Amino acid sequence: MSSARTGSNSAAKTTRGVVFMHCCPSALAPHVEWALAGVLARPARLEWVGQPAAPQHLRAEVAWSGPVGTAAAIAAALRAWPMLVFEITEDGTAITDGERLAYVPGRGFHRSAVSANGDVIVGEERLRGLLSRARTVEEYRHGLTELLGSAWDAELEPYRAGGDGAPVTLLHSAG
C-alpha cells in the first residue's frame, strides 16, 4: 500500500465536532470535564456560563477533534449523569456520515445521521420500516417526527437559545 494512500486513510479516520453541554448542575461540571478528558486522553477545562433557561445550572460548548466515533464515546461517558442535557455533533469524513446525538432527561438519546449541510438523514430501511408499521396517516406522521428527532429538538430549543454568543472551548484528542 502506498504511503499517499495510507495518509489518506489516516486523515479520513480523524474528524471533529462540538459538545453542546446545554444544562449541567454546577456540582457536576468537574465530572463532565473529567469524562471528556477520559475520552480525549487530555485535560478538558471548559468555560462554563449560566444557563438562562435553567437558573442555577451551567452550559458550555466544546469543539473537539479526534478519531471517528468520538461523539459516541463522549455520549457514553456522559450517560452516567442522566440529569444532563446535551447534544454532540461529529462531522462526516470522506468515508463516514456525520452524526448528532441528543440527550434529554426523561426522553433519552436520539441519534441521527447528518449531511454536510446539517440536515438529518433518514435511511431507506428506516423509512421502509415506518411504512410497513404505520396504519394511518397520523401514525406515519408521528413516526416521521420520531425519526427526525422533532421532540428532542423542541425540548432542546430553549437551552440552545441560551448559548447565543457563548464562549467555545477547543479540545483535541491526544491519540
Q: CA 105 to CA 93: how far, in whole Å?
A: 30
5 confidence band (pLDDT: 50, 70, 90):
very low
Are the CB atoms for 156 and 112 separated by under 8 Å? no
pLDDT for 118 = 83
> 64: which 3 cell numbers?
473537539
4 confidence band (pLDDT: 50, 70, 90):
very low
Q: CA 99 to CA 69: how far, in whole Å?
A: 10
Give per-residue pLDDT as tens, 95-147: 888 999 999 999 999 999 998 888 899 999 999 999 999 999 999 999 999 99
Give per-residue pLDDT as tens, 6-61: 444 555 689 999 999 999 999 999 999 999 999 999 888 899 999 999 989 999 99
For residue 6, give every residue at least 6 positions away whose Cβ sits within 8 Å of its Cβ, in sequence order, or none.
Answer: none
172 confidence band (pLDDT: 50, 70, 90):
low
The larger pLDDT score, comparing residue 149 to residue 163, is at: 149
> 37: which 3 cell numbers?
478528558
User: What ranges in the chain are assigned the alpha helix state H?
Assistant: 3-12, 29-40, 70-78, 124-133, 137-148, 150-161
Report the interhelical angle of 150-161 vs 137-148 (nearest 10°).
40
Model confidence, pTM: 0.82
Side chain identity at residue 139, one-letter code: E
94 confidence band (pLDDT: 50, 70, 90):
confident
Q: Which of 42, 76, 48, 75 is nearest to 174 (CA)?
A: 42
Q: CA 102 to CA 55: how far, in whole Å?
A: 21
pLDDT for 165 = 56
pLDDT for 8 = 47
pLDDT for 7 = 45
